[in-house]
A and B are shown apart, each in its own frame.
Chain A
């Protein structure tokens, strides 16, 4: 458990530093009058996050290429990199309400995602520990499987987390589309 928490804290601190760096990059670009990066980072970051959703599709067996485990890793990394790129896109521009709401939803989804990852890791570790304990007790594979089925507490927590994570994702998707359309409406291509 201590290892999980330590890893989680390391991840959060690393991400916070990366986020600050992303904002610093945008401030520097802005200082030198660079403008083209807004559209580029906006499109790239959004595409990465959209592509990361392929994990959900793979999990629901909408396609079968690659293992679910690898798709989960892709989901996590694409979402992290996409979010950092979108922070370069945002920088310190908090004037208009629509982009600000979209940013808040993105960061909420991001934090929620990190929390989900923590729950997932905890569930995995707990299962492994339980399995090892049962093996040491000399139980057979069948008995272990029966016991493991009873261990649903953390999985339930993951299911409950999804109930919160998915609505935020839904809101984020709609606000992203709205933000992109309104930005292109006023700013052009």
Chain B
């Protein structure tokens, strides 16, 4: 090896040794592949990692962290961590994905027997819609994630970018059969009340029961609601905009 190259090997060696010394005091900036989730932000590298091994499950289940797999979170799956006790935590969990990142991987349901039922493991929601639901969970949900539901809402109303809100914004009574537009769309309530009461209409939050709206659904015009009233919403009113009846 030439003298010049040897010199640079020595210099490189010094750089590596410097990194090593700094890394002993501050390992994260040098070796961490990403920020830890906020719940793990106070853990040190050696709390979880063992030299030259994948993170052992014992690191997670120590008394001060997750004894018996307890995470302090309300789980939607019955006795989940009791069932998987002794299994590899990293099969389902990960980290170093960022402070706010989701650290539970999507469950692979393909390994389950075909006759397994969702409710054998999952605790279903207790709202009126789910309690009254007659069909299979798979009618509305996939196995990748419970939310968002795969329920075809477009059939009843297209959720465009302006309508991507939480379910209870419109379905504010706990029943998914009832809804109201008035939690977002401003009206002069007094005017609406009097105008509808004159006609004997009391459930005027259910706008589409009488009015029709035309929306652009992925490039095609689609109409929702019933054109019982020949005035009101855009696309149906005879030259009268929906805003016009706010007075």
B12 close to A175 (CB less than 8 A): yes
A11 within 8 Å of B (CB atoms): no
Q: Which of A95, A166, A186, A187 contacts B5 (CB 8 A)?
A: A166
Number of A-B pairs, beta carbon distance below 8 Å: 75
Residue count of chain A within 8 Å CB distance of chain B = 25
A77 within 8 Å of B (CB atoms): no
B174 within 8 Å of A (CB atoms): no
B5 close to A167 (CB less than 8 A): yes
B151 within 8 Å of A (CB atoms): no
Q: Which of B16, B53, B105 contacts A178 (CB 8 A)?
A: B16
B52 close to A188 (CB less than 8 A): yes
A188 close to B53 (CB less than 8 A): yes
A93 close to B33 (CB less than 8 A): yes
Q: What secondary structure prevails in chain A residues at the interface with B?
A: helix
With a cutoff of 8 Å between Cβ atoms, the chain A residues found around residue B31 in the complex are 96, 98, 182-183, 186
Interface size class of B (residues with CB under 8 A): 20 to 34
B67 within 8 Å of A (CB atoms): no
With a cutoff of 8 Å between Cβ atoms, the chain A residues found around residue B13 in the complex are 174
A95 close to B4 (CB less than 8 A): no
With a cutoff of 8 Å between Cβ atoms, the chain A residues found around residue B20 in the complex are 178
Q: Which of A96, A170, A188 contacts B8 (CB 8 A)?
A: A170
> How close is A183's CB to chain B, nearest CB, in angstroms?
8
A171 within 8 Å of B (CB atoms): yes
With a cutoff of 8 Å between Cβ atoms, the chain B residues found around residue A170 in the complex are 5, 8-9, 11-12
Q: Which of B4, B35, B45, B105 contacts A33 (CB 8 A)?
A: B105
Per-position 1/0 for A176-189, Cβ under 8 A of B: 00100011111111
State the A residues within 8 Å of B (CB): 33, 93, 95-98, 101, 163, 166-167, 169-171, 173-175, 178, 182-189
